[in-house]
Amino acid sequence: MKKNSKFLNTVKATLLLLLTCTTCLSLSQKANADTIANTTTSVFDLTQPLTIAINKTSAPYHLVRENGQVEGIMPDLWRIWAEKQQVEIKFVVLPWNDTLATVAKGNVDIHAGLSITQSRQDTLTFSSSHFPIYMHFYVHQKLHEVNSISDLKPYAMGVVDGSAQPGIIAENYSWLKQKSYPNRHALYQAALEGEVLAFTGMEKISEAYPNYAQLTAMFPAYKSIRYQQIDYGVAVAKDNHKLMAFIEAGFAKIPLDKKIAYSLLLILTTHLIWLLAH
């Protein structure tokens, strides 16, 4: 009964989130479009194609299929953006930490999409928020005594090195031990093998991960604990305001209903669909 109650409450909260985000996104995108409508950055000031860093395992945001096709919510939006701004773009596939470093150094023009954090603002300039995302701790089903964040103290929390989660956990839950992995698939494999009994970062999981069903069976929805809301946007090298103004102007040209549709698709993919699978 407790499991079902928690599950239903989470589903209700997710549905409410969908409604709230629709309203907030409409207002914020309209305000953003009004603010940058007069942007005059010329396409001729830019070297083409504009390069955009992506990571192949960050589904559903951005990913690479086995056939090499770049897919995901953000690549789809970037392709629409390129049409609106009449520029050529090229996706550059990199390990996650390299996506951050190459954009920060200016070796790649744009980061396709990432969480907006204070620490990353030291080396990157961010866009306005495209949508909120929610972070969770995922707990193994056998840890019956774990029902809150404080109950996690005896356990090491699996995290991905270079992701937003380690810094957020260190800042807000400094007492929580962390165990880092180089990428998401390495983290998920460690969870499957029992190396960690709790981890964070499954918001990005999808059918792109071959052991999805097994992992979600071991770490079911009713054992997840939400701990943070954070904004998601795109980024360029620190203080490259000219390029960012051009980026913002292009996103302002995308029809509002299309942006809302993609944002709701993201929320459904990362929250409701995963929950209803359990």
Rounded CA-CA distance 113/169 in Å is: 21
Question: What Cα–Cα distance (Å) separates residue 55 from each residue in 44, 59, 112?
Answer: 28, 9, 9
Give the contacts of 256 (CB within 8 A, at least 6 positions apart).
26, 29, 30
Looking at the structure, give the CATH architecture of the domain made up of residues 133-228.
3-Layer(aba) Sandwich (3.40)
Top mean-pLDDT range of 76-80, 101-105, 219-223, 274-278:
101-105
Q: What is the pLDDT of residue 156?
A: 96
* Domains 37-132+232-276 and 133-228 alike in fold: yes
- Residue type (1 letter), 184: R
pTM: 0.75
Task: Note the pLDDT tens digit of each residue in 48-70.
Answer: 899 999 988 777 788 787 788 88
Are residues 158 and 150 in contact, defined by beta-carbon separation less than 8 angstroms?
no
Rounded CA-CA distance 126/58 in Å is: 19
Q: Over 153-176, what HEC string results?
A: CCCCEEEECCCCHHHHHHHHCCCC
Strands of the sheet containing 57-58, edge to edge, are: 57-58, 62-64, 70-71
Residue spans of the domains in the chain: they are 37-132+232-276, 133-228
Rounded CA-CA distance 50/235 in Å is: 13
Rounded CA-CA distance 54/112 in Å is: 6
Class level of CATH domain 37-132+232-276: alpha beta
Task: Note the pLDDT tens digit of each residue in 144-186.
Answer: 999 999 999 999 999 999 889 999 999 999 999 999 999 888 9
**Does the pLDDT of residue 5 top 60, yes or no?**
no
The tokens of 182 are what? 């180089």
Number of H helices, E strands in the chain: 9, 12
Q: What is the pLDDT of residue 211?
A: 85
DSSP-derived secondary structure for 97-113: HHHHHHHHHTSSSEEEE
Q: What is the mean pLDDT of the chain?
A: 80
